[in-house]
């Protein structure tokens, strides 16, 4: 049995991974063709973002049919082959369950709109407050009101995301039974893991105006959430002890995560939280330009590491996914220190307590898209906010500057496989432009270079398997007030591990608060680092080290 505490997960966004049939969209056969590459990295699981039938308004997070593969991605036979081929390589599949909402094209919603009372209760329909006013002032996470008026009904339906993503009503038991069925269906196909999309938003509380915010306090970590997750667990994936689950927790609290991912709480194996990825926001406002706050980043990471450990709960640890800009562009340094900073950031995550997730392309240091024209963008959230920012009075140029930093499309440009046309992603016309730097940054080049970012990730993955301390050790923050160094210690059965990372270009003398005598360097991002380090170390630009002492 694979122990998820020793595992590493690789995330695939199939649309942008590899196209096997020349239509410019990635597909399941494309993934099959790259399994050897993924195996080479050494990971245990592949998390695939949704490939179910969908109108693709939100790239598959708008599901029209949970039981069928969208023909654009392939067939059920392709999927079964993928499970089999992955299994042959010791890799398990984790699927993405989008259960907070469906697509407005889902049969349930169509029936609801046609007036079928049973299916109306699958969703959240409410009367408006007064003529022309929505039931509450809640905002959609993609911009605008979270309510859409249906003239024929004289009612509104709730959509926390796009208007084409109506929220399901989890307070209706029939809905919960339907969703359990979906999980059991995929379990029978041999799926060994599930990621639950924005799952802490499914239990809605009071429907009231939010005087201070956008409404999230009424539905985030809502009143029945723990009960619903325990039920889902007991009725579906909990029946197979080998299944690993991760919940995507939007704007959650540490206290709730103790329960979501507590060892004995019977909910989920682990959680994604996002507070550390808001250190370049203004509060919850993403569409602004604010420099990343390093001290805040450290504090959040450390609080979650220590807090979850104290309560015997488990984190998913990560920088990147399909909703985030590329980390090397965000907290690292493109250009001169591209390689050093990408490796340094990887070290931070892979030395931590939790299950690391690597998002496609992160392992080769892919960078932000650099799009400068709205016609290059595809993401519904980015397109909405480009308009909203200008409605608020920003110039087009300022709106572009913000999109270039925060757009989700930064993480969605095609995987850069080699120096051929379109980076080897497709020989058709790619659905979204390939990053112009694919000739310099690509997997083929890095596979052939022992010093590459890819090879470094590979070492990090294998260290977790080799050293129990990385998987099971306790966590302790070091030198918390240091304004440029992030450091921590792990301990396990008398062994000690120190991870130290210089987040900046400036060289630093670093004195480890616990002393470094007797430690040896297991891995570092500068080749010439001597194995023995003394009490003090000079950290070069973006230098990172993992130091280890047996007893
Ligand atoms: C999650 C997904 C994101 C999607 C949203 C709505 O945050 O990761 O891509 O747009 O949920 O389903």
Buried-state track 177-189, b at ≥16 Cβ within 10 A, e below 16 = eebbebbeebbee
pLDDT of residue 68: 98
pLDDT of residue 532: 57
pLDDT band at 515 (very low <50, low <70, confident <90, very high): confident
pLDDT of residue 302: 98
Which parts of 201-343 are beta strand (E)? 244-248, 270-272, 316-317
pLDDT of residue 380: 95
Summary mean pLDDT of the chain: 97
Q: Residue 347 Cα, ligand 1 centroid: separation in angstroms?
A: 27
DSSP, collapsed to helix, strand or coil, labels residue 84 as: helix
Q: How many residues does the chain have?
A: 551
Cβ 198 under 6 angstroms from ligand 1: yes
Give pLDDT tens digits for 111-161. Answer: 999 999 999 999 999 999 987 899 999 999 999 999 999 999 999 999 999
Candidates 280, 367, 368, 344; CA nearest to 504 is 344
**In terms of pLDDT, which residue wins out, 363 or 536?**
363
Average pLDDT over residues 4-15: 98
Q: Residue 381 Cα, ligand 1 centroid: separation in angstroms?
A: 10
Cβ 61 under 6 angstroms from ligand 1: yes
* Phi, psi at 139, each rounded to 5°: -105, 145
* Sign of the torsion formed by the C-alpha atoms of 534, 535, 537 and 542: positive
**In Å, how far are 42, 312, 440, 526 from 445, measured between CA atoms?**
18, 42, 8, 19
Cβ 409 under 6 angstroms from ligand 1: no
Give pLDDT tens digits for 313-335. Answer: 999 999 999 999 999 999 999 99
Q: Residue 190 Cα, ligand 1 centroid: separation in angstroms?
A: 24
Contact at 8 Å (CB) between 159 and 59?
Answer: no
pLDDT of residue 534: 67
Cβ 62 under 6 angstroms from ligand 1: no
**Percent of residues, the chain, with pLDDT higher than 70:** 99
pLDDT of residue 533: 61
Average pLDDT over residues 183-204: 98
Q: Residue 177 Cα, ligand 1 centroid: separation in angstroms?
A: 23
Cβ 58 under 6 angstroms from ligand 1: yes
**In Å, how far are 283, 326, 483, 534 from 504, measured between CA atoms?**
24, 17, 10, 22
Q: Is residue 2's pLDDT more than 90? A: no
Instruction: Spell out the long-range contacts of 461-466 with Cβ–Cβ below 8 A and sequence spacing 24 or more.
Output: 461/8, 461/41, 461/42, 461/43, 461/350, 461/356, 462/42, 463/350, 463/522, 463/523, 463/546, 464/6, 464/8, 464/350, 464/356, 465/6, 465/42
pLDDT of residue 121: 98
DSSP, collapsed to helix, strand or coil, labels residue 107 as: helix
Give pLDDT tens digits for 221-265. Answer: 999 999 999 999 999 999 999 999 999 999 999 999 999 999 999
| For the CA of 62, the nearest atom of ligand 1 | 12
In sequence order, which ranges of 194-293 are alpha helices (DSSP H)?
225-235, 254-260
pLDDT band at 551 (very low <50, low <70, confident <90, very high): confident
Candidates 77, 56, 140, 67; CA nearest to 108 is 67
Give pLDDT tens digits for 400-425. Answer: 999 999 999 999 999 999 999 999 99
Could you give the count of Cα atoms lying within 13 Å of 130 in the half-sphere of its Cβ?
Answer: 0
pLDDT of residue 131: 78
Q: Is residue 33's pLDDT more than 90? A: yes
**In Å, how far are 139, 215, 547 from 368, measured between CA atoms?**
28, 31, 31
Cβ 379 under 6 angstroms from ligand 1: no
Q: Is residue 474's pLDDT more than 60? A: yes
pLDDT band at 432 (very low <50, low <70, confident <90, very high): very high
**Residues carrying an active site annotation:** 197, 248
Residues 57 and 413: their CA atoms lie apart, in Å, by 17
Contact at 8 Å (CB) between 412 and 386?
Answer: no
**Percent of residues, the chain, with pLDDT higher than 90:** 95
pLDDT of residue 327: 98
Q: Is residue 531's pLDDT more than 60? A: no
The pair of three-digit structure tokens given for residue 336, joined into one six-digit string: 């001169």
Which residue is listed with tokens 């998002």?
359
Give pLDDT tens digits for 55-72. Answer: 999 999 999 999 999 999
Q: Which of 13, 51, 58 to mutate to test the pocket of ligand 1 (most atoms within 8 A of CB)?
A: 58
Q: Which of 198, 250, 410 to mutate to test the pocket of ligand 1 (most atoms within 8 A of CB)?
A: 198
Going by the DSSP 8-state scheme, the letter that residue 376 receives in this structure is: G
pLDDT band at 530 (very low <50, low <70, confident <90, very high): low
pLDDT of residue 1: 57
Q: What is the pTM of this model?
A: 0.98
């Amino acid at each position: 049995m694979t122990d998820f505490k020793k595992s590493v997960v690789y995330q695939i966004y199939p649309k942008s991974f590899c196209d096997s049939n020349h239509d410019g969209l990635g597909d399941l056969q494309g993934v099959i063709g790259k399994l050897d590459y993924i195996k080479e990295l050494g990971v245990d699981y592949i998390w695939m973002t949704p490939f179910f039938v969908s109108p693709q308004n939100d790239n598959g997070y708008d599901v029209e049919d949970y039981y069928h593969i969208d023909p654009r991605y392939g067939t059920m036979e392709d999927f079964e082959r993928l499970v089999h081929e992955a299994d042959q390589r010791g890799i398990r599949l984790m699927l993405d369950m989008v259960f907070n909402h469906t697509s407005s094209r889902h049969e349930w919603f169509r029936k609801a709109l046609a007036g079928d009372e049973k299916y109306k209760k699958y969703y959240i329909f409410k009367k408006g407050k007064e003529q022309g006013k929505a039931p509450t002032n809640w905002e959609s996470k993609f911009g605008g009101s979270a309510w859409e008026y249906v003239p024929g009904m004289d009612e509104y339906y709730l959509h926390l995301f796009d208007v084409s993503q109506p929220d399901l009503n989890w307070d209706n038991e029939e809905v919960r039974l339907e969703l359990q069925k979906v999980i059991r269906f995929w379990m029978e196909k041999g799926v060994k893991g599930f990621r639950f999309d924005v799952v802490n938003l499914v239990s809605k509380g009071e429907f009231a105006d939010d005087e201070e915010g956008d409404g999230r306090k009424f539905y985030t970590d809502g009143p029945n959430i723990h009960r619903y997750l325990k039920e889902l667990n007991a009725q579906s994936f909990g029946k197979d002890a080998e299944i690993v689950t991760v919940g995507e927790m939007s704007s959650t609290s540490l206290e709730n995560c103790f329960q979501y991912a507590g060892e004995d709480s019977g909910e989920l194996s682990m959680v994604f939280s996002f507070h550390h990825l808001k250190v370049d926001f203004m509060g919850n406002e993403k569409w602004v330009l604010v420099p990343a706050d390093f001290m805040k980043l450290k504090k959040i990471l450390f609080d979650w590491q220590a807090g979850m450990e104290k309560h015997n709960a488990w984190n998913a640890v990560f920088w990147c996914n399909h909703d985030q800009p590329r980390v090397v562009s965000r907290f690292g340094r493109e250009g001169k220190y591209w390689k050093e900073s990408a490796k340094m950031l990887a070290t931070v995550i892979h030395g931590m307590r939790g299950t690391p997730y690597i998002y496609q392309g992160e392992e080769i240091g892919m960078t932000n898209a650099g799009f400068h024209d709205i016609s290059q963008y595809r993401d519904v959230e980015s397109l909405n906010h480009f308009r909203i920012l200008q409605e608020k009075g920003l110039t087009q140029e300022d709106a572009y500057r913000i999109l270039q930093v925060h757009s989700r499309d930064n993480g969605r440009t095609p995987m850069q496989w080699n120096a051929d046309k379109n980076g080897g992603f497709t020989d058709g016309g790619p659905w979204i432009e390939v990053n112009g730097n694919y000739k310099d940054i690509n997997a083929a080049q890095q596979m052939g270079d022992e010093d590459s970012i890819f090879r470094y990730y590979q070492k990090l993955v294998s260290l977790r398997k080799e050293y129990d301390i990385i998987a099971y050790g306790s966590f302790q923050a070091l030198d918390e007030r240091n304004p440029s160094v992030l450091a921590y210690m792990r301990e396990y059965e008398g062994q000690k591990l120190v991870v130290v990372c210089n987040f900046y270009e400036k060289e630093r003398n670093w004195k480890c608060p616990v002393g470094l005598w007797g430690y040896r360097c297991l891995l570092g991002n500068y080749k010439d680092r001597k194995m023995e380090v003394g009490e003090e170390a000079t950290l070069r630009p973006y230098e990172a080290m993992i130091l280890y002492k047996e007893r």
